[in-house]
Amino acid sequence: MFPNKTTFQLNRKSKQALYLQLSNTFIELIKSRKLLPETKLPSSRALSENLNVHRKTVVACYEELLLQGWVESIPKKGTFVNANLPELNVQNFTIENRHKKTNNTGFNFYHNEELVRKSPEKKEGFMYINDGISDARLTPAEDIARIYRRICGRKHIYKEMSYGSLFGNEKLRKTLANYLNKTRGLSVSYENILITRGSQMGIYLSSKLLLKKDDLVVIGETNYASADTTFLQSEANLVRVAVDENGLNTKEIEEICKKKAIKAVYVTSHHHHPTTVTLSAERRIHLLNLAKKYSFAIIEDDYDYDFNYNHSPILPLASHDANGNVIYIGSVCKTVAPVFRIGYLISSKEFVNEAANQRRFIDRQGDALLELTFEEFIKNGDLDRHIKKVMKIYKTRRDLFCKLLEEKFKDVFFFEIPKGGMAVWLTLHKKYSWKTISQIAYKHQLEIGEWQRYDIANSKHNAIRIGFATYNEEEIYELIKRLSKTMNEVKLLKKSL
Amino acid sequence: MFPNKTTFQLNRKSKQALYLQLSNTFIELIKSRKLLPETKLPSSRALSENLNVHRKTVVACYEELLLQGWVESIPKKGTFVNANLPELNVQNFTIENRHKKTNNTGFNFYHNEELVRKSPEKKEGFMYINDGISDARLTPAEDIARIYRRICGRKHIYKEMSYGSLFGNEKLRKTLANYLNKTRGLSVSYENILITRGSQMGIYLSSKLLLKKDDLVVIGETNYASADTTFLQSEANLVRVAVDENGLNTKEIEEICKKKAIKAVYVTSHHHHPTTVTLSAERRIHLLNLAKKYSFAIIEDDYDYDFNYNHSPILPLASHDANGNVIYIGSVCKTVAPVFRIGYLISSKEFVNEAANQRRFIDRQGDALLELTFEEFIKNGDLDRHIKKVMKIYKTRRDLFCKLLEEKFKDVFFFEIPKGGMAVWLTLHKKYSWKTISQIAYKHQLEIGEWQRYDIANSKHNAIRIGFATYNEEEIYELIKRLSKTMNEVKLLKKSL
């Protein structure tokens, strides 16, 4: 039986053409088997009269259905629901039920528990401890947007708008080569540079190219957790070496090399993540020599090169790398703002080519307009001026934060004032635990975050990393206040036990 | 012996502080063993007099070297090059030699030949055949840049500038859910949407989550080559089924399912890539039923949904997916411009969550500012207006291109006028080969491109895909002219054989 008139709810105010509303209704009816295969549709004249629409609308609708294969036209007989249409296997197929599918997955996929990170839901009034990120309020967003818009208005800018280089915009690569050669003692050409979306993409690409199942990668006993997870995705084996006040213990690395072939060492040489120490000159040279002797790659993640408070930054390992062992990774995400996804991977031309080929299959290419924007931002000296400006602010914040920590928590927290970076490595007196602190802090609207992940290798250091750069003076006082309340309660609790 | 004065070339006009120039020179001397370990450095007073710099400069330099570990200070004796510094193993370490490293790689990495694609170097005066991309000259770049700048000037925009959602901006996800529900018959909420950098990232993430070594993925005998390569990176086995005028042969898929478990079917249902045919309604339902019965995923890459010339677009498989089998992938790259890296992956909440976790390790997050820009662009109706505008232009180009092909090459090329998309699937008379044509075309400054890749599965179809949308009227005439010259020569060559 053909459905009655009320089934066709046509909305003449809708932006969708009437014939499409009509054909979509037919499709729903056919799919839901309210119109069975071989059912004859009314003639266009009959239907148009019945629904009070123009006959052309119905004709267009039938043509649409025909084109899509929902109906067939049999000469001299009329239009019929396609006899060969299989039934769509759905229980109670209704619009309402379709909404439920959002929770169903009709297929199996590989779940990777390692990838899961809990980030707390942001709650009004809460303060969140982070492990060292910049203050977004200081971002020169309007300056950058102004450059962006100017670039978009250029006459031949359309040439940058289609499918472009896998390596990133060539102008930015050249400016960056020049900038890094000058500021970081590198000696690279633009061909050594792949523009990435940030350091994480650099680590990911390196991991994909260097590591396969059971390959060895050396990391610190404490290490940047995202790097660990990235390497694990290549099913590599992580080999941990000690980290002390001079950074990674390179003697341990040498011992490992004597026994087994390693593919790579991951190092945050400038300020070790998370402990903030700097790899000493002696170990830098030792590591480079080992890399040469044993032909492994050094993945140097120089995520906070620009952040030094007491002295000039130490030139990266890459600046001493005459044998092509270093893959140098950095970004503007820390110095400008994470929202600007511009980073770089620097290595031999050969490796950079392979990384670009790999990158094609991840996200095809970068954002040439944003890349050109940063090309200007760097070349004009805006980046340097911005760094100078924020460094002054962050230094003040570091000084205040450390002074208050020292004043209030001398008996429970131990730390060195970090010479650079945006975080303090805070060791807790061994009679307390971060777990308890975290629970009590929560009552005082202070979210400590993932304290567990600093102890991922069971190194028993009882320390976490606390960023200071995101908070202004007032916020630092407030944070310390909440931490004081928390620690007072923790101490009382301890006594009462 | 301590190096003489001329070794220290200090530039007082340089932006780099003198003490840093000095310390960097020392580091170079120490690394190159021109200053050996245990060498005593001159007193700060002696050096400052010798070099004619302020004594404070030398003191700052020595402090710097001390901090970095290049020298050590022995009380009452003086400053010495660190006795424990190992020698950096480099032959003839000089600045000049460092430049050579750009061609050396000091470590091994996995080379993946499949990833390599040759793209021709662009030459002045040449025309390049593409496989269907939009005309960048039509990009509304200034409109988009204006929105972008306005957004960057908003009062609380800094909240979008730090580390943010792995899923993409929530506002865009909501607007997109609404837009796609209305225009494509989906019924999804924002939680079903992951904002990607484009379709390729959607395919990549799906492949990572669905496929491991030896898993089966079904694709067309002709297929979008980048999807093939992406699946191969997961070490999956590609199973090819026939593609005819109704798209993928779903009966063949059913036969495969009866024998083996498949993980996914990749389909460009709207216009099959490369042959441009549309998957028929019958096969759509059949495929959905198979997916339900055999619990596999349908990766529906709807890369050119908006491109229809004769009729309204056909609703995607995802609009009929009541069982959660479809992963729906699309982007604005084709409709607006590839430079704007905004795409989406739509599936069950559960799958989208996993994809977001995976995405964190690839590039952390998207560009929230650009995402907000497109949120406005879509919500304001700008996107729809833009599509309407360019569709009219592309239709004219298609008509002209096909008319000329038909007029000039009736005896050598066979094709159907494509109902949508931006390309024609051009089958060559079997007595000719694309290889010869490609070689001769090159003489006429026409680059045919990778004709080989359309025959990747040895399907012997002797056809390639030629995009028409990038060329304006004048360029279409020019292209046809060059192709005519080419074919005339090809025919002569054939006769003379």
State residue A458's pLDDT score. Answer: 72
Task: Inform me whether the C-beta atom of residue B354 falls under 8 Å from chain A C-beta atoms.
Answer: yes
Is there a contact between A148 and B149 if contact means CB atoms under 8 Å apart? yes
pLDDT band at B99 (very low <50, low <70, confident <90, very high): very low
Least-confidence region, from A219-223, B113-117, B220-224, B318-322: B113-117
Is residue A491 included in any domain, yes or no? yes
pLDDT tens digit sequence for A141-180: 999 999 999 999 999 999 999 999 999 999 999 999 999 9
Q: What are phi and psi of B308, to 5 degrees?
A: -130, 135
Tokens 């954002």: give the residue: A367
Is the torsion defined by CA of A396, A398, A403, A409 positive or negative?
Answer: positive
Is there a contact between A152 and B162 if contact means CB atoms under 8 Å apart? no
Is there a contact between A368 and B339 if contact means CB atoms under 8 Å apart? yes
d(CA A117, CA A119): 6
B60 in the same domain as B178: no
Amino acid found at A401: F
Q: What is the mean pLDDT of chain A?
A: 91
CB contacts < 8 Å between A and B, how many? Answer: 389
In chain B, what residues touch A111 (CB-CB under 8 Å)?
A: 354
Is residue B149 included in any domain, yes or no? yes
Shortest distance between the Cα of A91 and any Cα of chain B, in A, equals 9
Last residue of a domain, one of A368, A384, A400: A384
Cβ atoms A463, A427 nearer than 8 A: yes
What's the total number of domains in chain A?
3
The whole-number average pLDDT for the span A366-386 is 95
Task: Inform me whether the C-beta atom of residue B361 falls under 8 Å from chain A C-beta atoms.
Answer: yes
Percent of chain B surpassing pLDDT 70: 96
What is the CATH number for B366? Answer: 3.40.640.10
Q: What angle do CA B312, B313, B314 make, to 5 degrees?
A: 120
Cβ atoms A123, A443 nearer than 8 A: no
pLDDT of A196 above 50? yes
B283 in the same domain as B259: yes
d(CA B177, CA A368): 27
What is the CATH number for A483? Answer: 3.90.1150.10
State residue B112's pLDDT score. Answer: 87
In chain A, what residues touch B87 (CB-CB under 8 Å)?
A: 285, 289
DSSP state of A444: T
Distances, alpha carbon B130 to alpha carbons A182, B217, B331, B425, B451, in Å: 40, 27, 19, 12, 10
pLDDT of B16 above 80? no
The answer to whether the complex's ipTM is over 0.85 is yes
Task: Inform me whether the C-beta atom of residue A363 falls under 8 Å from chain B C-beta atoms.
Answer: yes
Task: Inform me whether the C-beta atom of residue B129 falls under 8 Å from chain A C-beta atoms.
Answer: no
What is the CATH number for A82? Answer: 1.10.10.10
B483 in the same domain as B367: no
Is residue B416 included in any domain, yes or no? yes
d(CA A474, CA B326): 50
Nearest CA in chain B to A226: B361
Is there a contact between A341 and B104 if contact means CB atoms under 8 Å apart? no
Is there a contact between A133 and B188 if contact means CB atoms under 8 Å apart? no
B349 in the same domain as B243: yes
Nearest CA in chain A to B325: A106
What residue numbers bound the domain in which B340 lies? 139-380
pLDDT band at B97 (very low <50, low <70, confident <90, very high): very low
pLDDT tens digit sequence for A303-340: 888 888 877 778 899 998 889 999 999 998 788 999 99
Nearest CA in chain B to A353: B116
Task: Inform me whether the C-beta atom of residue A161 falls under 8 Å from chain B C-beta atoms.
Answer: yes
In chain A, what residues touch B103 (CB-CB under 8 Å)?
A: 348-350
Is residue B450 included in any domain, yes or no? yes
State residue A406's pLDDT score. Answer: 96
pLDDT of B90 above 60? no
Shortest distance between the Cα of A61 and any Cα of chain B, in A, equals 10
The whole-number average pLDDT for the span A404-428 is 95
Is there a contact between A337 and B98 if contact means CB atoms under 8 Å apart? no
B220 in the same domain as B323: yes
d(CA B477, CA B281): 37
Task: Inform me whether the C-beta atom of residue A373 falls under 8 Å from chain B C-beta atoms.
Answer: no
A377 in the same domain as A396: no
Is there a contact between A291 and B107 if contact means CB atoms under 8 Å apart? yes
pLDDT band at A1 (very low <50, low <70, confident <90, very high): low
In chain A, what residues touch B365 (CB-CB under 8 Å)?
A: 338, 341
Is there a contact between B145 and A142 if contact means CB atoms under 8 Å apart? no
B207 in the same domain as B69: no
d(CA B12, CA A21): 76
pLDDT of B221 above 60? yes
Least-confidence region, from A64-73, A413-422, B162-171, B247-256: A64-73
The whole-number average pLDDT for the span A58-74 is 88
Shortest distance between the Cα of A54 and any Cα of chain B, in A, equals 18
pLDDT of B116 above 70? yes
Task: Inform me whether the C-beta atom of residue B347 falls under 8 Å from chain A C-beta atoms.
Answer: yes
The whole-number average pLDDT for the span A349-358 is 96
Tokens 């511009």: give the residue: A342
Is residue B143 included in any domain, yes or no? yes
In chain A, what residues touch B323 (CB-CB under 8 Å)?
A: 89-90, 101, 104, 106
Is there a contact between A361 and B101 if contact means CB atoms under 8 Å apart? no
Cβ atoms A158, B136 nearer than 8 A: yes
The whole-number average pLDDT for the span A8-24 is 84
Q: What are phi and psi of A282, to 5 degrees?
A: -60, -45
d(CA A147, CA A140): 11
Is there a contact between B312 and A101 if contact means CB atoms under 8 Å apart? no
State residue A92's pLDDT score. Answer: 43
Nearest CA in chain B to A346: B102
Last residue of a domain, one of B350, B380, B410: B380
In chain B, what residues touch A348 (CB-CB under 8 Å)?
A: 101-106
Is there a contact between A282 and B68 if contact means CB atoms under 8 Å apart? no
In chain B, what residues touch A103 (CB-CB under 8 Å)?
A: 348-350
Nearest CA to A330 out of A384, A390, A286, A270 is that of A270
Q: What angle do CA B241, B245, B251 make, to 5 degrees?
A: 40
Last residue of a domain, one of A367, A384, A401: A384
Is residue A76 included in any domain, yes or no? yes
Alpha helices in B197-302 (DSSP H): 199-210, 225-233, 250-259, 281-294
Nearest CA to B199 out of B360, B330, B339 is that of B330
Percent of chain B surpassing pLDDT 90: 70
pLDDT of B36 above 70? yes
List CB contacts of A53: < 8 A, sequence separation 6 or more: A10, A18, A22
Shortest distance between the Cα of B496 and any Cα of chain A, in A, equals 41
Alpha helices in B314-381 (DSSP H): 349-363, 368-379
In chain A, what residues touch B163 (CB-CB under 8 Å)?
A: 133, 338
Nearest CA in chain B to A225: B361
Distances, alpha carbon B119 to alpha carbons B7, B22, B122, B134, in Å: 47, 46, 9, 18
The whole-number average pLDDT for the span A215-228 is 95
pLDDT band at B146 (very low <50, low <70, confident <90, very high): very high
Task: Closest CB to A160: pick one of B226, B339, B362.
Answer: B339
pLDDT tens digit sequence for A392-406: 999 999 999 999 999
Is there a contact between A357 and B320 if contact means CB atoms under 8 Å apart? no
Q: What are phi and psi of A329, to 5 degrees?
A: -125, 135
Cβ atoms B143, A118 nearer than 8 A: no
pLDDT of A101 above 50? no
Nearest CA in chain A to B37: A282
B392 in the same domain as B376: no
Shortest distance between the Cα of A368 and any Cα of chain B, in A, equals 6
Nearest CA in chain B to A200: B363
- Choose, out of B107, B263, B315, the residue to mutate when testing the contact with A (most A CBs < 10 Å): B107
Tokens 């096969």: give the residue: B283
Is there a contact between B152 and A158 if contact means CB atoms under 8 Å apart? no
Judge residue B303's burial from the number of C-beta atoms within 10 Å of its C-beta, 0-12 exposed, 13-18 middle, 19 or more buried: buried
Distances, alpha carbon B173 to alpha carbons A275, A340, B32, B167, B346, in Å: 38, 20, 56, 8, 10
Decide: helix, strand or coil at residue B408: helix
State residue A390's pLDDT score. Answer: 94
State residue A310's pLDDT score. Answer: 76
B325 in the same domain as B402: no
B329 in the same domain as B462: no
Cβ atoms B236, B286 nearer than 8 A: no
Cβ atoms B301, B336 nearer than 8 A: no
List CB contacts of A82: < 8 A, sequence separation 6 or more: A30, A37, A69, A70, A71, A72, B281, B282
pLDDT of B127 above 50? yes
B267 in the same domain as B204: yes
Least-confidence region, from A319-333, B451-465, B481-495: B451-465
Cβ atoms B277, B245 nearer than 8 A: yes
Nearest CA in chain B to A93: B322
Q: What angle do CA B4, B8, B13 make, to 5 degrees?
A: 150
Decide: helix, strand or coil at residue A37: coil
Percent of chain A surpassing pLDDT 70: 96
Decide: helix, strand or coil at residue A300: strand
Is there a contact between B322 and A98 if contact means CB atoms under 8 Å apart? yes
pLDDT of B98 above 70? no
Strand-pair category, B413-414 with B343-346: unpaired
List all residues of chain B from 273 to 332 with a beta carbon under 8 Å from chain A: 278, 280-282, 285-286, 288-289, 291-293, 295-297, 310-312, 314-315, 320-325
Tokens 């009816």: give the residue: A29
Q: Which two tokens stand for residue A26?
A: 């037919």
Region label for A168, one of left (φ > 0), alpha (ψ between -120 and 50) or beta (otherwise): left
Element holding A56 (H helix, E strand): helix A55-68
State residue B455's pLDDT score. Answer: 76
Task: Closest CB to B145: pick one of A149, A230, A341.
Answer: A149
DSSP state of B2: P
Is residue A114 included in any domain, yes or no? no
Cβ atoms A328, A294 nearer than 8 A: no
Least-confidence region, from A135-144, A441-450, B98-107: B98-107
Compute how many other C-beta atoms are within 10 angstroms of the C-beta atom of residue A448: 21
Task: Inform me whether the C-beta atom of residue A82 falls under 8 Å from chain B C-beta atoms.
Answer: yes
pLDDT tens digit sequence for A78-95: 999 998 888 776 544 444
B437 in the same domain as B412: yes
pLDDT tens digit sequence for B408-434: 999 999 999 998 999 999 999 999 999
Is residue A232 included in any domain, yes or no? yes
